[in-house]
Amino acid sequence: MGRITLLLGIHNHQPVGNFEHVFREAHDRCYRPFFDLLGEYPTLRVSLHYTGPLLDWLERHEPAFLDGLRKRVEQGQIELLTGGYYEPILASIPARDGAGQISMMTRHLKRRLGADPKGLWLAERVWEPSLPGLLGACGVDYTLVDDTHFEAVGLKPESLRGYYLTEREGTTLSIFPISKRLRYLIPFRPPEETIEYLGQLAGDDPVAITYADDGEKFGLWPGTYRWVYDQSASGGWLKRFFGLLEQNQSWITTKTFGEYRAQTPPTGRIYLPTGSYEEMMEWALPTEAILEREVLIGRLEASGLKETAAGFLRGGFWNHFLVKYPEINLMHKKAQYVSDKIALKEKASGRSRSKWLAEARQELYRAQGNDVYWHGLFGGYYLNYLRHAVYQHLIKAENLLDAHPSESSVRLTETDLDRDGLPEWLVETSRMNLYLKPSDGAAAIEIDYRPKAVCLTHLPMRRPEAYHRKLKMPPASSAQASEGIPSIHDRVVVKASAVNRKLVYDRHPRWSFRDHLFRSDTTLEQFETSQYEDLGGFSDQPYGTDAAESGREKAILSFSRTGRVEDQSLSVEKEYSLWASRAELAVKYTFRSPRLTPYVWAVELNLTLLAGADPKRYYRFPGKIVEDTQLRSAGVLEEVTEAHLVDEWQGIEIRLEFKPAARLWRFPIETISQSEEGMESNYQGSCLAALWPLAIPLEGNREGLITMAIVER
């Protein structure tokens, strides 16, 4: 019988901002049992990768685990891979930050775990041809990508063996191709099927094949714990698999990637295009393109051509997430903005090793973790606590850079923050950040309260997702097949929170101080379900910038727009005022029109305090009796002069005042989104709309004022 070398790589990751109980469950049901069972088979060789947030948690809560890991590294059973410490997509962040994150991880692995890593785990296997230069400069000799990347240049997965060499501007890098077939066999099919497949690949000439994937498959993914670690007499999947590898050592050898590379020449030379694994490339496509691709794949499968055509169905490009989700783009560009500010401070200080600069860089690195910058099978971008963590660390970095700001300091900047070719206005004080987008209704695209490092406005719009079609499918059976378990890629689960929920899609991103002109009979239900008529173009068309003034105590930005409705015109002036010495924002509207028709002016605010049903986060309406004050509640209140959003956990209140008194609509923003557990309804934040009737012509100039103050409890 021929021989084969099996190269096993396991990637273990928890994101910045994840809940403590998730780290604990992942350790107890996944990382610890895998590690302990591996110890019973000392002849097996495995390459492991642990990301920085997980290593930090283990250091705080399970240092003995790291002590045992170090011992296995010293014994040679385990090789550790480096990577960006907080698991960024390296191709999506500045090279200086990528190098900093890799160096941070490599130093930590050497110091704490006695490793000398030469291989790198590439986050989400997002490859760009420029990476050899960055990785080579960081002392990295090899990385791993999916066989999908190789298919894109015409190679067939079954022909891929060992590792290949690529280069960029003279810097070489070894690349191991990850077998998709093994990713779908391990651990979802009986281990005997993996051994049988290895037997098909084994030959007289040296053969090596790579398996590398998420460690969470081994106990944390739905349905996997019992399957992988069953304590019955026959043992779980992993014990059986390790036992089969040990029993077949006469023809199956396990090695670490570094060990194999040091002993074996490359299979050949390769140049790979930008890419990721197949599923990620699909998720990055626009929703309509995903649906069209699925139809095409179905037709190819029916005709028996799916496997032949697979290499020519590449899907999209990871960076398109920044187009598909404008809110992700804003987070990404905010991180770029903070990175640039740190670089300028370093340059001004001669790249000094000041403690505050190092702390600011680390806060930036934490905010670059990839999980929230994309969405597919995993919740990612739709998980509000992960978005909260990104903004929290970015604001903390800004606070460190402005460690000693003047109490009466206002910084006013005009810049193309989101890189769409149109300018935004950034107003920054020691208390608040206010980012305005004149080209989109002069809306506020970000409002931060800096003393608590809280972004109050990171809500996603409700938009079509390709998986929404599954809401109409029959529920998946929970029965476990005797011959295996379904991968989460194959499961169709609709959780109770999403059952019978009507899908609602928004017209615009959920910015704040977005303006609307309605007919007087428009209802809350119409507004909530996007069934309203928006008049005059005030909601999403450009406002002109009339004035931008900044003094020591106050910044004022004035915008204006004239809209036409049924041959009538309405001129609106919109003035933002932000104070340096207090966390207070005022937005004043001035209306002018020469003719008569009754309309309603509405100002939309979208705010998030993360939890919609938490008793410590709620509304308060002074002077009003309201039965349901949960942040996920909906309703209409008349003659409202004040509305407070209270967060006892974070110790803040958002106090809104309306002059004159306004009719107030409120409703929750909830998305039907997908995660490992299935489709579920997620509370993202709350929408409030303040309505003033406009009887036109106005007797003189009509004015409206909304004040937002952030108060600490």
SS3 track for 396-439: HHHHHHCCCCCCCCCEEEEECCCCCCCCEEEEECCCEEEEEEHH
The alpha carbon of residue 181 and the mean position of all alpha carbons in its chain are separated, in whole angstroms, by 27
Q: Where are the beta strands (DSSP E) in 222-290?
A: 252-255, 268-269
| pLDDT at residue number 700 | 56
- Residue 559 one-letter amino acid: F
Task: Using alpha carbons, select from 54, 21, 621, 9 the residue that is nearest to residue 371.
Answer: 54
Number of domains into which the chain is organized: 1
Q: Let me know if residue 143 belongs to a domain.
A: yes
Indicate if the pLDDT at residue 222 is higher than 80: yes
pLDDT digit string (tens) for 178-197?
999 999 999 999 999 999 99
Cα 349 to Cα 97: distance, rounded to the nearest angstrom: 18
- Paired residues of 635 in beta bridges: 666
338-344: long-range pairs with CB below 8 Å, 24+? 338/364, 338/367, 338/394, 338/397, 338/398, 338/401, 339/93, 339/94, 339/96, 339/97, 339/364, 341/398, 341/401, 342/397, 342/401, 343/94, 343/96
DSSP letter, residue 220: T
Indicate if the pLDDT at residue 596 is higher than 60: no
pLDDT digit string (tens) for 465-509?
999 988 876 655 444 445 787 776 666 677 777 777 789 999 999
Buried b vs exposed e over 220-252: b needs ≥16 C-beta within 10 Å? Answer: bbbebbebbbeeeeeebbbbbbbeebeebeeeb
Q: Let me know if residue 293 belongs to a domain.
A: no
Greatest distance between any 2 Cα atoms in the chain:
95
Name 372's Cβ contacts closer than 8 Å, sequence gap at least 6. 15, 17, 328, 331, 380, 381, 383, 386, 387, 389, 390
Indicate if the pLDDT at residue 229 is higher than 80: yes
The helix (H) or strand (E) run that includes residue 70 is helix 63-75
| pLDDT at residue number 479 | 45
- Paired residues of 590 in beta bridges: 573, 703
Q: How confident is the model at residue 595 (pLDDT cuts 50, 70, 90)?
A: low
Q: Let me know if residue 557 belongs to a domain.
A: no
Name 515's Cβ contacts closer than 8 Å, sequence gap at least 6. 441, 442, 443, 538, 539, 572, 574, 589, 601, 602, 603, 604
Residues designated as active site = 124, 214
Predicted TM-score (pTM) of this structure:
0.94
DSSP 661-697: EEEEEEEEEEEEEEETTEEEEEEEEEEEEEEEEEEES
The alpha carbon of residue 342 and the mean position of all alpha carbons in its chain are separated, in whole angstroms, by 23
Contact 342, 401 (CB under 8 A): yes
The per-residue pLDDT of the chain, averaged, comes to: 92
Q: Let me know if residue 194 belongs to a domain.
A: yes
pLDDT digit string (tens) for 50-101?
999 999 999 999 999 999 999 999 999 999 999 999 999 999 999 999 999 9
Q: Let me know if residue 176 belongs to a domain.
A: yes
Instruction: Kindly report whether the peptide bond that precedes residue 187 is cis, defined as omega within 30 degrees of 0.
Output: yes
- Paired residues of 49 in beta bridges: 11
Which alpha helices (H) appear in 91-211, and where do they start and end? 95-113, 131-137, 147-151, 180-185, 191-201
Share above pLDDT 90 across residues of the chain, in percent, rounded to a whole number: 82
Cα 540 to Cα 537: distance, rounded to the nearest angstrom: 6
Contact 462, 505 (CB under 8 A): yes
Q: Let me know if residue 260 belongs to a domain.
A: yes
CATH number for position 106: 3.20.110.20
Average pLDDT on 133-146 reads: 97
Token code pair at residue 122: 């590439």
Share above pLDDT 70 across residues of the chain, in percent, rounded to a whole number: 95
Instruction: Kindly report whether the peptide bond that precedes residue 594 is cis, defined as omega within 30 degrees of 0.
Output: no
Q: Indicate left, alpha or beta for 678 from its phi (over 0: left) and psi (-120 to 50: alpha).
A: left
| pLDDT at residue number 79 | 98
pLDDT digit string (tens) for 31-61?
999 999 999 999 999 999 999 999 999 999 9
Average pLDDT on 2-7 reads: 95
Q: Let me know if residue 29 belongs to a domain.
A: yes
Q: Let me know if residue 24 belongs to a domain.
A: yes
The helix (H) or strand (E) run that includes residue 281 is helix 278-283
Domain of residue 99 covers 4-270
Cα 486 to Cα 246: distance, rounded to the nearest angstrom: 26
User: Judging by DSSP bridges, how do beta strands 443-449 and 432-437 pair with one another?
Assistant: antiparallel
Q: How confident is the model at residue 713 (pLDDT cuts 50, 70, 90)?
A: confident
Cα Rg of the chain (Å, integer): 28
| pLDDT at residue number 379 | 80
Token code pair at residue 86: 């907080």
Token code pair at residue 706: 């909304």
Token code pair at residue 15: 């994101």
